[in-house]
Each structure stands twice: as C-alpha cells, then as structure tokens.
Structure 1
C-alpha cells in the first residue's frame, strides 16, 4: 500500500504526572512557514522521538529559553 498521509502530531499524556507527558509535531514549534522553527522537529518526528512537555509552572520556567509578551497598544 502507498502511504498518502501521516499523523502530524504525536503525544503521550501521563495523567498521573503531567510533567512526564511527551509530544512532537511534524512541522515543528511554529506554524509559520518562514520561521526558523517551522521544521525544527521534523528529523526527530521521522525517527519516532518525542520531546518533553512541561506542565507545572516551575517546570515550564526551567524549560523556557524565550518568552514572548504581548501587550495591547497604548490608547
């Protein structure tokens, strides 16, 4: 059989310990085609690898390398 589609995202959710959940997205961390992160997970996805999926605030803070802050325009 010829393969004509694939799952774009895989995830394993550990409801007993949310911080042990793992995931991967075929197209990467960004949905924007011109972003450097558009295909940054593709190789790992093809190898069947998964990435950590931090959940608790302190776990997310430890795993964070960049922060985007959006603010409404001044009136």
Structure 2
C-alpha cells in the first residue's frame, strides 16, 4: 500500500504526519552509511543517515515511531 494511503491512527495520512518530523543533520550521534532496506537517501547522497549507537536508519526509526504512536492512540481510543 502506498504510504499516502496509510493511516496512522490520526486524522491525517502517514505522509502528512511524517512531513512534520524535524529532519536531522549529521552530528556526533549520526553518520552516513549504506543505503537502508527502505532506500532512505539522505540529501541525494546515495547513503542513509544512521545512528552510531546501533547502526539503524534515522528515517526508518521515525517511521516506526510514528506508526507505533498511532497504534497506541488507536488502542486507547483516541482519534
């Protein structure tokens, strides 16, 4: 399913929620690494922005967090 059609448990679509996330810059906790399985390309570098602590993709982590928040709110009965 296309991400624009996905619902997050909010009144807005996934992409509307995701676009509001503050974009990260490279700092002491992040680095540019190999492209992730979801093909997140940081600033058209051909690489993904990753956390130094666990090597995970920053953008994938944001997607998972937004999805989880939506599921929790839906479970608790919030819109």
Q: Shorter chain as normaliser: what TM range?
A: under 0.3
Structure-1-length-normalised TM-score: 0.23
Q: Which structure would you say has the larger Rg? A: 1
Structure-2-length-normalised TM-score: 0.22
Instruction: Answer 1 or 2: which has greater helix percent.
Output: 2
> Which structure is higher in RCO with an 8 Å CA cutoff and minimum separation 6?
2
